[in-house]
């Protein structure tokens, strides 16, 4: 293999590696965004659960007061 052919091959490998790196960076960003969305959803559901618990406690207190 001539030096020119080696250079061409290495150039192609470099291009492929750069493309793979960009793909991995994109995938990583998507996963980070998904993780953040999941965290936000979890926080929202926890807040809703706490509100429901407080509502139940109030309802139980009201029921006890009526007895």
Give the pLDDT score at 64. 86
4 is a domain residue: no
What is the Cα–Cα distance from 43 to 38, expressed in whole angstroms? 9
Count the domains in the chain.
1
- Domain of residue 32, residue span: 9-67
> Closest Cα to residue 32, out of 43, 24, 21, 44?
24
Q: Which residues contact 9 (CB under 8 A, 6 or more apart)?
A: 1
2: in domain: no
Q: What share of the chain has pLDDT > 70, as a percent?
A: 100
Q: What is the pTM of this model?
A: 0.63
pLDDT, tens digit, 9 for 90 and up, residues 20-50 = 999 999 999 999 999 999 999 999 999 999 9
Q: Does residue 55 lie within any of the structural domains? A: yes
Q: Is residue 19 part of a domain?
A: yes
Q: Over pLDDT 90: what percentage of the chain?
A: 88
Q: What band does 67 get if pLDDT is binned at 50, 70 and 90?
A: confident
In a domain, 24, yes or no: yes
């Amino acid at each position: 293999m001539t030096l020119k052919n080696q250079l061409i091959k290495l150039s192609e490998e470099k291009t492929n590696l750069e493309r793979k790196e960009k793909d991995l960076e994109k995938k990583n960003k998507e996963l980070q965004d998904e993780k953040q969305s999941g965290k936000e959803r979890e926080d929202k559901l926890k807040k809703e659960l706490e509100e429901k618990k407080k509502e139940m406690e109030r309802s139980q207190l009201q029921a006890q007061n009526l007895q």
